[in-house]
C-alpha cells in the first residue's frame, strides 16, 4: 500500500473525471475488506475514522494507523488515512501526529469567522507535514432531520471564495441537500448550487452522506466537481447484517466464521460504491 496525502488522490481523480470513495473502518475485518476490494477494483481508497469511532472502540489514532499500515503491506494500492468530522482542532493535531495523511476539521457547528479561524489553525499545523486538510462550509446534518435542505444550512456560494482564500484549505465538504445516515425519502441534491460552489472554490469538493443517494446523482455530482464521496452507514449496515444473518442461520457458528461472512457481505457493498466513484458500469 502506498500511503499518500489525500490531496494527491483527489487531484488524480479530477484528471480521470472520477471520485475517491472514503469509507469508515473500525476493525481488522473492515480494514482488510476495504483494502482487498480496492485492490480487486484497482481503485485508490480513503480509509477514514471519526473521533466518535475512536471513542466507541476505545482505541487511539496511533493504533488504527498502525493496524492499517500492517495490513496494507499486502496490497498494491494508493491510499490515504483520514480523520472524519473532528469538531475539536486538538483531534486533528492528534491524528496528524499519529500518522494520518489527511484530516477534516468540521466547523459546521460554529459561526463563519470561528470556522475560518479554527480551520486555519489546522492548516498551519499540517504545513510541512504533507497532510491534507478538509473543511466543511454549511451544515451536513443527519438524514433523520429536515434541516439538510433548509437554505440556512446549505453551503452559500457567496462565502466559498472568502473561506478558501482565508484558510488555504485543500478540499471542501459541501451541503447541497445531502445528509448523514439513512434518508427517509429520496434526497434532492441542488446541482445548480454545486456548480456555483465549484466555480468559486477552485479546489476538490467533498460529498458527505453518500449512503442512499441514487447512483445517477452521485455520478452527476462527480461531473460537477465532487472528488471525494463519504460512505459509512450503508457499508456498516452490510457488515452488521452479514454477521446477524450468519448467526441466524447457524446458532453454533464461531465468531471468526460469522465475522468472515460479515466481511464478505460488506465487500460486495464496497465494490458497488467503488464502481460508482470510478464512473464505471456494472459488469
Helix, strand, or coil here: 142?
strand
Q: Report which of 152, 151, 85, 171 is spatially closest to residue 112, judged by C-alpha positions.
A: 152
Cα 70 vs. chain centroid, distance in angstroms?
A: 21
Which position among 74, 76, 84, 88 bears the catalytic label?
Answer: 84
Compute the radius of gyration of the chain from its Cα atoms: 18
Question: Catalytic site residue 97?
Answer: no
What string of DSSP letters covers 65-83?
A: HHHHHHHHTT---EEEEEE
Burial 49-67 (b: 16+ CB within 10 A, else e): bbbebbeeeeeebeebbeb
CA atoms 117, 197, 272, 10: torsion sign:
negative
Number of Cβ within 10 Å of residue 31's Cβ equals: 20
DSSP line for 35-67: HHHHHHHT--EEEEE-HHHHHHHT--HHHHHHH
Rounded to an integer, what distance in angstroms lies between the CA atom of residue 49 and that of residue 23? 8
**Which are the catalytic amino acids?**
84
Amino acid at each position: 500500500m502506498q500511503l499518500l496525502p489525500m490531496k494527491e488522490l483527489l487531484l488524480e481523480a479530477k484528471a480521470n473525471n472520477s471520485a475517491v470513495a472514503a469509507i469508515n473502518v473500525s476493525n481488522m475485518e473492515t480494514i482488510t475488506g476495504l483494502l482487498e476490494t480496492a485492490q480487486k477494483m484497482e481503485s485508490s481508497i480513503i480509509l477514514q475514522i471519526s473521533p466518535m469511532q475512536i471513542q466507541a472502540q476505545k482505541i487511539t489514532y496511533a493504533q488504527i494507523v498502525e493496524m492499517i499500515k500492517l495490513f496494507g503491506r499486502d496490497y498494491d494500492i494508493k491510499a490515504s488515512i483520514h480523520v472524519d468530522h473532528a469538531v475539536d482542532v486538538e483531534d486533528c493535531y492528534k491524528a496528524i501526529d499519529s500518522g494520518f495523511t489527511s484530516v477534516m476539521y468540521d466547523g459546521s457547528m460554529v459561526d463563519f469567522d470561528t470556522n475560518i479561524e479554527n480551520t486555519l489553525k489546522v492548516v498551519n499545523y499540517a504545513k510541512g507535514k504533507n497532510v491534507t486538510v478538509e473543511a466543511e462550509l454549511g451544515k451536513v446534518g443527519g438524514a433523520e432531520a429536515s434541516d439538510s435542505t433548509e437554505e440556512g444550512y446549505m453551503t452559500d456560494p457567496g462565502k466559498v471564495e472568502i473561506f478558501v482564500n482565508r484558510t488555504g484549505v485543500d478540499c471542501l465538504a459541501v451541503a447541497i441537500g445531502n445528509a448523514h445516515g439513512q434518508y427517509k425519502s429520496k434526497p434532492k441534491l441542488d446541482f445548480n448550487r454545486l456548480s456555483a460552489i465549484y466555480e468559486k472554490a477552485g479546489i476538490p469538493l467533498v460529498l458527505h452522506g453518500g449512503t442512499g443517494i441514487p447512483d445517477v446523482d452521485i455520478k452527476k455530482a462527480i461531473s460537477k466537481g465532487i472528488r471525494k464521496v463519504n460512505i459509512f452507514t450503508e457499508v456498516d449496515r452490510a457488515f452488521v447484517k452479514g454477521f446477524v444473518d450468519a448467526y441466524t442461520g447457524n446458532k453454533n457458528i464461531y465468531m471468526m466464521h460469522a465475522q468472515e461472512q460479515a466481511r464478505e457481505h460488506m465487500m460486495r457493498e464496497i465494490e458497488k460504491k467503488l464502481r460508482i466513484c470510478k464512473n464505471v458500469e456494472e459488469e
